[in-house]
């Protein structure tokens, strides 16, 4: 019953010019400031904000090519604004230009060496390029700047998992959960490591139980819990979980219901 499932991907951050951190995953998108001045007639600061905020809106609409064009103009006007480079890197990341994203994150960090969001984002781009040790180095750097940055622990745990450093992954998920006890993804991922790699199906089920208590409408925790129960020969409990996951849209769970459950 040791069928793997995909771990949750790490969160990527995007910043507005006038608001706190905006998360692509797990956060609330906030509206950006709108500069109503005609760009050509406004001063340099207002013109850069105009293009930066217009780019931000385009990025939220997944128009990343358009966003990059506007960030290019904003950077031409104000090349010392780290947020422009961070956000342009985010759009490049979404277009799978990971090296281009890293170049932009490098510039953002050069402008602001304690810019933890860009450091985290650079780690994600390195991860996509299979530079997992480089990604871990970036997540560690972000943690050294902000020891309460739970997303960096979470992302480092994911990278450690990919490198088969399973105990290190568990420690990072533990820390992420200590800081944010409602981090659904961390419970699911920690449970998967326990079940699939450390032969701790009972511990995994405890994690999946917690994830389900946080968000009972996500299929993955039911599906994974069913796998762990199957490993413990509790096929009746496994089938209950797979049926639930199937009703929530999980096709793999539906296959198990058809093939394993009478």
Domains of the chain: 1-148 (1.25.40.10), 181-262 (1.25.40.10)
pLDDT tens string 68-116:
999 999 999 999 999 999 999 999 999 999 999 999 999 999 999 999 9
Four-CA torsion 154, 157, 158, 163, nearest 10 degrees:
160
Per-residue DSSP letter, 172: H
From CA 97, how far away is CA 220, in angstroms rounded? 29
Instruction: Give the global pTM.
Output: 0.86
Is residue 12 over pLDDT 70?
Answer: no
Report whether 37 contacts 46 (CB < 8 A).
Answer: yes
pLDDT tens string 27-80:
222 234 444 455 566 688 888 999 999 999 999 999 999 999 999 999 999 999
Report whether 149 contacts 116 (CB < 8 A).
Answer: yes
Report whether 230 contacts 257 (CB < 8 A).
Answer: no
H or E stretch at 14: strand 13-15
């Amino acid at each position: 019953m040791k069928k793997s499932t995909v771990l949750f991907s790490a969160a990527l951050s995007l910043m507005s010019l006038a608001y706190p951190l905006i998360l692509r995953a797990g956060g609330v998108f906030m509206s950006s400031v709108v500069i109503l001045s005609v760009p050509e007639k406004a001063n340099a600061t207002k013109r850069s904000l105009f293009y930066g905020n217009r780019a931000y809106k385009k990025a939220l609409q997944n128009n990343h090519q358009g966003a990059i064009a506007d960030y290019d103009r904003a950077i031409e006007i104000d090349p010392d604004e780290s947020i422009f480079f961070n956000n342009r890197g985010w759009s490049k990341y979404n277009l799978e230009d990971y090296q281009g994203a890293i170049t932009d994150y490098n510039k953002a960090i050069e402008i602001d060496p304690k810019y933890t969001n860009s450091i985290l984002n650079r780690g994600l781009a390195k991860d996509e390029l299979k530079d997992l040790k480089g990604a871990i180095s970036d997540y560690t750097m972000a943690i050294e700047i902000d020891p309460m940055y739970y997303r960096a622990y979470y992302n480092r745990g994911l990278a450690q998992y990919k490198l088969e450093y399973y105990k290190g992954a568990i420690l990072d998920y533990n820390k992420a959960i200590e800081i944010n006890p409602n981090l659904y993804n961390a419970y699911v991922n920690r449970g998967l490591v326990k079940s699939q790699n450390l032969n701790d199906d009972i511990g995994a089920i405890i994690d999946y139980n917690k994830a389900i208590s946080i968000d009972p409408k996500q299929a993955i925790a039911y599906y994974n819990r069913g796998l762990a129960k199957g490993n413990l020969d509790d096929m009746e409990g496994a089938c209950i979980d797979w049926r639930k996951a199937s009703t929530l849209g999980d096709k793999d769970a539906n296959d198990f219901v058809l093939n394993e459950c009478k």
